[in-house]
A and B are shown apart, each in its own frame.
Chain A
Amino acid sequence: NAGVMQNPRHLVRRRGQEARLRCSPMKGHSHVYWYRQLPEEGLKFMVYLQKENIIDESGMPKERFSAEFPKEGPSILRIQQVVRGDSAAYFCASSPDGGGANEQFFGPGTRLTVL
């Protein structure tokens, strides 16, 4: 059973460009979470999605950031018009349905650098 997959692993963008980060959850997991980690800091929750639905986006900046988890394909975190402050590691996690719903397993992360 493959773990949580994320791509790309590293992404370099210039200010004003768009960044698209992809996350494929573990097989059988329908819950996806995105977290942001600034250098030498902890992980901050951004958004929680289930298939085709955003459940909780309370940690997402109101502008420039959006997320989706379509019926088919990976979850995507999209950052428009990137700024230097968006440089961070973005981690996706997934969890299964049922009693183990709280156990979240993380992907390898996408390290975004904004020049």
Chain B
Amino acid sequence: GENVEQHPSTLSVQEGDSAVIKCTYSDSASNYFPWYKQELGKRPQLIIDIRSNVGEKKDQRIAVTLNKTAKHFSLHITETQPEDSAVYFCAATPSGSARQLTFGSGTQLTVLP
């Protein structure tokens, strides 16, 4: 089955700086990679996703890159704000039909004002 590893487990940045979170996956059949943001005591919220037919996707201050050869993908947040502070989870799954998501262990991002 799929195994997803996520680094770092904690990340502190100054407000306005960029934050990068990295994930690797093991199953070459995986080709859908979502990122979720979870605030304390709240539900995970889908913030961006990427499919294997593209290498990069952007949505305002958030971008995701994918390297299928190396089996890794990354989340980039630019111009960080205090409200970006949360736990971020990457996930992977084979596309084409509804399947379970395999999640990384999470990154606690703290944006210092």
Contacts and interface: CB of A to CB of B under 8 A. Distances in A.
Interface in B37-63: 42-46, 49
Interface in A51-69: 55-56, 58-59
Contact of A91 (B43, B97, B99): B43
Given A106-B44, A107-B43, A109-B43, A95 B104 contact: no
Contacts of B11: none
Nearest to A59: B100
A45 B105 CA distance: 13
A72 interface: no
Interface residues of B, number: 24
Contact of B34 (A58, A97, A103): A103
Nearest to B90: A42
Interface string B68-110: 0000000000000000000001000101011111111110000
B94 to A, nearest CB: 9
Interface residues of A, number: 27
Contacts of B32: 102
A108 interface: yes
Nearest to B44: A106
Interface in B12-42: 32, 34, 36, 42
Nearest to A45: B100
Contacts of B106: 41-42
Contact of A41 (B34, B44, B98, B105): B105
Nearest to B108: A40
A101 B97 contact: yes
Given A101-B98, A102-B98, A103-B34, A43 B43 contact: no
Given A102-B32, A103-B34, A103-B49, A43 B44 contact: yes
B43 A108 contact: yes
Contacts of B103: 35, 42-44
A104 interface: yes
Contacts of A102: 32, 34, 49, 93, 95, 98-99
Interface of B: 1, 6, 32, 34, 36, 42-46, 49, 89, 93, 95, 97-106
